[in-house]
């Protein structure tokens, strides 16, 4: 399910001042991987615990929990933002973010966040890979070649592929 993030700091305190160096800002031991294709829509499902049913939900790009809410692509308060739509399915204890008209620029890391009022927010990570149309075309051509080759080998009649003019 969701994972808490941890931030590490190295601090030094002097009589007149203190210095803190930020060391890490990371989240989630693993990321769910999703593959899709250019032009398609993809839904990212983000689970949460029942006690957070009425809390703010959001999604951001990247994997930095400390800035995720400030850089949110969409929140449960603003359910539609361009190509992004957020639906909170409270009975199922998950919210779903749908991204329409995918492009390869949408590939990358995303964090699903649930705001917790008195504690650090809860996060789950997703890695989205959007494949281009060239890959789809190559896959279709390979499949067509395989089908026609198999057909030619098993039948004595010639095979004609329909052309669209």
Residue 155 lies in a domain: no
160 domain-assigned: no
- Identify any residues that bridge with 129 across adjacent strands, giving them in sequence order: 35
Residue 29, pLDDT score? 84
- Total number of domains constituting the chain: 1
**Residue with the larger pLDDT of the pair 108 and 139:** 108
- 152 inside domain: no
| 8 Å CB contact between 97 and 112 | yes
Per-residue pLDDT tens digits for 73-123: 999 999 999 999 999 999 999 999 999 999 999 999 999 999 998 888 999
Q: What is the DSSP string of the chain?
A: --EE-EEEEEEEE-SS-EEEEEEEEE--S-EEEEEEETT--EEEEEE--GGGTTS-EEEEESS-HHHHTTT-SEETTB-EETTEEEEEEGGGTEEEEEE-S--GGG-EEEEEEE--TTSPPEEEEEEEEEE-HHHHHHHHHHHHHHHHHHHHHH-SS--------
pLDDT value, residue 160: 43
- What is the spatial distance between Cα 117 and Cα 13, in angstroms, rounded to a whole number? 29
Confidence of residue 27 (pLDDT cuts 50, 70, 90): confident
Question: How far separated are the first and last CA of the chain, in Å rounded?
Answer: 52
Q: Please tell me the predicted confidence (pLDDT) of residue 24.
A: 52
User: In this structure, what CATH number is given to the domain that contains residue 60?
Assistant: 2.60.40.10
Residue 50 included in any domain? yes
The domain in which residue 103 lies consists of: 3-144
Domain assignment present for 94: yes
Longest dimension (CA), the chain: 93
- Whether residue 149 lies inside any domain: the answer is no
pLDDT over 60 at 1, yes or no = no
Residue 156 lies in a domain: no
What pLDDT score was predicted for residue 96?
97
Q: What is the pLDDT of residues 29-60, one digit of tens each?
A: 889 999 999 999 999 999 999 999 999 999 99
Tell me the pLDDT band of 13, cut-offs 50, 70 and 90.
very low
Q: How confident is the model at residue 126 (pLDDT cuts 50, 70, 90)?
A: very high
Residue 150 lies in a domain: no
C-alpha distance from residue 56 to each of 23, 52, 92, 160 (Å): 28, 8, 16, 58
């Amino acid at each position: 399910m969701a994972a808490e993030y941890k931030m590490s700091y190295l601090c030094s305190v002097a009589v007149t001042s203190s210095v803190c160096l930020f060391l890490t800002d990371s989240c989630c031991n693993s990321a769910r991987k999703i593959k899709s294709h250019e032009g398609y829509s993809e839904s990212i499902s983000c689970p949460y615990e029942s006690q957070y049913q009425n809390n703010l939900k959001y999604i951001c790009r990247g994997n930095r929990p400390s800035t995720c809410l400030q850089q949110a692509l969409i929140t449960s308060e603003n359910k539609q933002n361009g190509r992004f739509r957020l639906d909170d399915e409270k009975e199922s204890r998950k919210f779903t973010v749908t991204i329409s008209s995918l492009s390869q620029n949408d590939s990358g890391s995303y964090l699903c966040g649930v705001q917790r009022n008195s504690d650090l927010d809860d996060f789950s990570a997703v890695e989205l890979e959007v494949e281009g149309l060239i890959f789809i075309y190559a896959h279709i051509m390979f499949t067509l070649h395989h089908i026609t080759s198999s057909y030619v080998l098993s039948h004595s009649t010639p095979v004609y592929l329909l052309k669209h003019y």
